Amino acid sequence: MLLSQNALAIRPLNLYPVVYISLLFGILHAVSVSPDESCISFNLTLRNFRLILSWELKNRSIVPTHYALSYTIMSRPAGEMIVEDCINITRSFCDLTDEWDSMTETYVTTVVGIRGNTTLVSCWDRVFPALDTSLEPPEFEIVGFTNHINVIVEFPPVIPKMLVMKNLQTQLSLIIEEKSGSIVKLHRPKIDGNTTGNFTYVIDKLIPNTEYCVSVYLEPKEAEKIRRSPLKCTLLQPGQESEFS
């Protein structure tokens, strides 16, 4: 009893989504399903510069047909936020690119699992983008010339606001890895909040008649593992433009 009172005292906001969503779904008995911290695992991924939160219920024998996602921002007592696009979804992921705007906030995220008109579970956990985001490599192409390679990295039309700091710098470091035989060189093009669309980086002073391979990735913070794109290779031929296909 004491425990649940404490839980209520610490996280009063967290009980609202169940009630609110319950009303929304017209479910009568949902209020009895109280949010549980440990029943879900989240993955936050930056994929094609979209911020995608996916989840799995830890108890595999609970199989909802629908989910509803909501969140609160720990430092901003604005109450429970509902994500329009993720209010009654059959998929177990939600695009939060236009919702979450800070890497350094803690988003207390609740997922309600529904089957038919019954709420099966309500699970929550904290998501801290600065540490929890796994960065997938951007899409890119290469074009080989006699002695240089153009690397074309596909940025989105707008860089998500979460990744852009006030001074237009981004929190992303793009790395272009150049390989020839056993020699590996890293290039760190400057990108900022204005870097949009197809961004071309030229790797020059290369040796003709040589094969070069290129891969790109976004440098992760601290101990996270690097997620490289697959290599794209080109043999530089004198007087001839070669294009990776």
Ligand X SMILES: *[C@@H]1O[C@H](CO)[C@@H](O)[C@H](O)[C@H]1NC(C)=O
Residue 165 lies near ligand X (rule: CB under 6 A): no
Question: Exposed, middle or buried, 183 (CB in 10 Å: 0-12/13-18/19+)?
Answer: exposed
Positions in 128-147 near ligand X (CB under 6 A):
141
User: Toward ligand X, which CB reaches closer, 48 or 59?
Assistant: 59
Residue 201 pairs with which residues in a beta bridge?
151
Q: Which of 6, 34, 104, 198 binds ligand X (CB under 6 A)?
A: 198
| Smallest distance, ligand X to C-beta of residue 114, A | 8
| Smallest distance, ligand X to C-beta of residue 152, A | 6
| Smallest distance, ligand X to C-beta of residue 154, A | 5
Residue 200 lies near ligand X (rule: CB under 6 A): no
Distances from the Cα of 122 to the Cα of 64, 148, 149, 244, angstroms: 11, 55, 52, 48
| Smallest distance, ligand X to C-beta of residue 105, A | 21
Residue 54 lies near ligand X (rule: CB under 6 A): yes
User: Toward ligand X, which CB reaches closer, 230 or 238?
Assistant: 230
Q: In what helix (H) or strand (E) does residue 203 lie, and over which residues does it extend?
A: strand 198-203
Q: Which amino acid is at 185?
A: K
Residues 6+ apart with CB under 8 A from 141: 151, 152, 154, 232, 243, 244
Distances from the Cα of 160 to the Cα of 76, 103, 165, angstroms: 20, 11, 10
Residue 235 lies near ligand X (rule: CB under 6 A): no
Q: Which of 43, 102, 210, 237 binds ligand X (CB under 6 A)?
A: 43
- Per the CB < 8 A criterion, the answer to whether 106 and 43 are in contact is no
- Per the CB < 8 A criterion, the answer to whether 176 and 151 are in contact is yes
Point out which span in 3-11, 20-28, 172-180, 222-230 binds ligand X (CB under 6 A).
20-28
| Smallest distance, ligand X to C-beta of residue 138, A | 11
78: helix, coil or strand? Answer: strand
Point out which span in 30-38, 51-59, 95-103, 105-113 binds ligand X (CB under 6 A).
51-59
Binding site for ligand X (CB under 6 A): 24-25, 28, 41, 43, 54-56, 59, 61-62, 66, 88, 90, 116-117, 141, 152, 154, 168, 192, 194, 197-198
